[in-house]
């Protein structure tokens, strides 16, 4: 593999970086492990793997804002969850929303029912153009992990087809995947509502595509979309373990840097145990990321700043993966 300078400058010199470079070299240069370019597929989880997921997922922030709009326009909705929790600022319920699957599913599917996929994307873009991370105070689009963006670039240069495989909304991530990671929208795999075609347009419905793109659903979606197992896969949580098991090279991101990001193992206990058992590469944000975010990019001018997904002066709930 031809290396010009350092292809991964935001990675600290260490075992994780060395293992990544050695693997890419082994499958792209002539030798016993060589893999033809057409077969080089890499898949990455998004939340907590490519961008910051704490104190809440960006899509959770997006949904909370929408649920608040709905309860203000239709107060009767506040009798049921999740709109009730938003109306009452019930942070305890919202923090545990992933434990309330039926109510959460209803909230997701009824947030934007019956609109076209293009109209939904415009709503997502408005969110990304105005919302700011509640702790770090910068737009979400500036919170991609620099080392992971560099890894994606390295894989692209060496003939990999790189896909996002997110438990989050496919059409939500598509709105920013090219801007943030250089990954085109057609290479975003994720969960989604069912769609229907009417009069020349594609509409969102209240149904949910099955399986959800999490846990064992990830290998199913990857195979359905690519017809291949990934050579390399990256994740950070238990919901990524099945995808990592499917790959030849598995990369697990560990969040252990409270100073530069957030420190937590909750929701990754099984994945960390499997990493040890299977010999996966574990990248510590504290030890293996020389840089975490690039916060030097100028903000777009003339855009409104909205910090709080609930009400002014009230902090957002913390949402954690189960």
* Average confidence (pLDDT) over 36-56: 98
pLDDT above 50: residue 312:
no
Q: Would you list the DSSP string of 50-91?
A: TB---SS-HHHHHHHHHHHHHHHH-GGGGGSTTHHHHHTT-H
Structure tokens at 196: 């229907």
Do 86 and 80 touch, CB atoms closer than 8 A? no
Among the listed residues 36, 43, 23, the one whose alpha carbon sits nearest the alpha carbon of residue 220: 43
Task: Read off the pLDDT of residues 187-218 as tens digits, 9 standing for 90 and up.
Answer: 999 999 999 999 999 999 999 999 999 999 99
Q: How confident is the model at residue 310 (pLDDT cuts 50, 70, 90)?
A: very low
Q: What architecture (CATH level 2) is domain 1-322?
A: 3-Layer(aba) Sandwich (3.40)
Higher pLDDT, 30 or 321: 30
At residue 318, the pLDDT reads 33
How buried is residue 3: exposed, middle or buried, by Cβ count under 10 Å (0-12/13-18/19+)? exposed
3-state secondary structure at position 165 = strand
At residue 4, the pLDDT reads 56
- Residue 204 pairs in a beta bridge with 195
Do 229 and 35 touch, CB atoms closer than 8 A? no
* Dist. CA 279–CA 307, nearest whole Å: 41
pLDDT above 90: residue 300:
no
The ranges assigned to domains in the chain are: 1-322
DSSP assigned state of 140: G
3-state secondary structure at position 15 = helix
Task: Read off the pLDDT of residues 68-124 as tens digits, 9 standing for 90 and up.
Answer: 999 999 999 999 999 999 999 998 999 888 889 899 999 999 999 999 999 999 999
Task: Read off the pLDDT of residues 241-281 as tens digits, 9 standing for 90 and up.
Answer: 999 999 999 999 999 999 999 999 999 999 999 999 999 99
Q: How confident is the model at residue 295 (pLDDT cuts 50, 70, 90)?
A: confident
């Amino acid at each position: 593999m031809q290396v010009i300078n350092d292809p991964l400058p935001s990675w600290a010199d260490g075992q994780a970086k060395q293992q990544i470079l050695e693997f890419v070299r082994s499958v792209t240069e002539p030798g016993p492990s060589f893999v033809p370019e057409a077969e080089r597929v890499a898949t990455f989880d998004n939340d907590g793997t490519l961008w910051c997921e704490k104190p809440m997922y960006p899509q959770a922030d997006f949904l909370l804002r929408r649920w608040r709009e709905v309860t203000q326009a239709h107060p009767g909705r506040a009798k049921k969850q999740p709109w009730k929790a938003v109306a009452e600022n019930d942070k305890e319920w919202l923090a545990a929303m992933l434990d309330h699957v039926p109510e959460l599913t209803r909230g997701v599917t009824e947030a934007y029912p019956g609109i076209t996929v293009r109209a939904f994307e415009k709503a997502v873009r408005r969110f990304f153009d105005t919302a700011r991370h509640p702790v770090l105070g910068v737009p979400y689009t500036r919170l991609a992990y620099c080392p992971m963006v560099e890894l994606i670039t390295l894989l692209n240069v060496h003939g990999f087809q790189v896909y996002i495989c997110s438990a989050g909304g496919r059409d939500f991530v598509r709105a920013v995947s090219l801007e943030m990671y250089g990954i085109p929208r057609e290479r975003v795999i994720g969960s989604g509502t069912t769609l229907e075609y009417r009069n020349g347009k594609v509409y969102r419905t209240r149904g949910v595509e099955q399986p959800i793109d999490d846990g064992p659903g990830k290998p199913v979606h990857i195979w359905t979309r690519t017809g291949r197992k990934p050579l390399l896969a990256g994740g950070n949580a238990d919901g990524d373990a099945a995808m990592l098991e499917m790959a030849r090279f598995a990369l697990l991101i560990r969040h252990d840097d409270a100073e530069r990001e957030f420190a937590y193992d909750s929701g990754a206990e099984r994945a960390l145990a499997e990493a040890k058992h299977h010999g996966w590469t574990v990248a510590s944000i504290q030890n293996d990321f020389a840089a975490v975010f690039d916060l030097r990019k100028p903000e777009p001018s003339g855009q409104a700043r909205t910090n709080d997904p609930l009400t002014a002066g009230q902090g957002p709930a913390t949402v954690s993966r189960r």
